[in-house]
Amino acid sequence: MDFKKIRKQAEKAVEKRGGSASLKGDFEEIKAIATSKGPASQKVKAAANALKNPGAASGGAKAPRQRGR
């Protein structure tokens, strides 16, 4: 198994999504969605929409509630 190749592919994927800061924003957004109130089906839809766009949405933790409207 070529770990260097895997590492380079992972680095490319991270950079494609906007870098490590963007990944941290994505994590916080998904975390807020997961801990919000509401049915699981709405949470899944909100999380899928959040992952389509790299980086945290403007508004930080409030973004998942706005998406669920």
Helix (H, G, I), strand (E, B) or coil at 69: coil
Range of the domain at 50: 39-69
Per-residue model confidence (pLDDT) at position 67:
46
> Could you read off the pLDDT of 26-53 as tens digits, one per residue?
899 999 999 999 999 999 999 999 888 7
Is residue 57 predicted with pLDDT exceeding 60? no
**DSSP code of 17?**
T
Q: Residue 66 contacts by C-beta under 8 Å, 6 or more apart in sequence?
A: 57, 59
| CA–CA separation, 62 and 69 (whole Å) | 12
| CA–CA separation, 21 and 54 (whole Å) | 10
Examine residue 48 and state whether it is found in any structural domain, yes or no: yes
Examine residue 15 and state whether it is found in any structural domain, yes or no: no
The domain total for the chain is 1
Examine residue 10 and state whether it is found in any structural domain, yes or no: no
Examine residue 33 and state whether it is found in any structural domain, yes or no: no
Examine residue 45 and state whether it is found in any structural domain, yes or no: yes
Is residue 62 predicted with pLDDT exceeding 60? no
Examine residue 66 and state whether it is found in any structural domain, yes or no: yes
Specify the pTM: 0.61
> Could you read off the pLDDT of 7-21 as tens digits, one per residue?
999 999 889 888 888
Examine residue 54 and state whether it is found in any structural domain, yes or no: yes
| CA–CA separation, 20 and 34 (whole Å) | 21
